[in-house]
Amino acid sequence: MTTTHRASALVPNRRGRSGDDPIFALHAEATRRRAAGERVVNATLGALLDEDGSLLVLPTAARAVREVGVDDHAAYAPIAGTPAFLDAVRRDVLGAAAGEAAAVATPGGSGALRHAIATFLEPGQSLLTGSWFWGPYRTLADENER
């Protein structure tokens, strides 16, 4: 029986990419070293942790999830976000200028960055950052040919 390499089903510019992001290896090392007693600040993943390394969840967010019920917090929303949510974001962020802008719902910060790169830059255009930047910026730009 002949087996086909899994990457052969991918479009050419996606073949040969590593499936492992180095950030996870660094996270594992930081976790291991902290468990061994080293004083380590693990700033590898985009999750906010407390002094004990436990995930921090805003009490107001946890309460909102409990109070709104499963149908409201777990159901699929429209891809663009619900109109009421988008209006509330615009009002909260922009106040009186809310009528002048649009809001977009994204799946977290990385999703927002990916969306902005793909939406506002043409293929081949450059993304300008500071000299110190979060490593995945390069991946997000490269993936979108920017």
Backbone angles phi, psi at 55, to 5 degrees: -60, 130
Q: What is the mean pLDDT of the chain?
A: 83
Give the tens place of pLDDT for each residue, 71-113.
887 888 888 888 998 999 999 999 998 888 888 888 888 888 9
Rounded to whole angstroms, the Cα distance separating 116 from 56 reads: 27
* Residue 112 DSSP SS3: helix
3-state helix, strand, coil in the chain (%, to 5): 50, 0, 50
For the chain, which residues score pLDDT lower than 70? Answer: 1-7, 14, 17-20
Residue type, 103: A
Q: What is the pTM of this model?
A: 0.56
Rounded to whole angstroms, the Cα distance separating 117 from 142 reads: 10
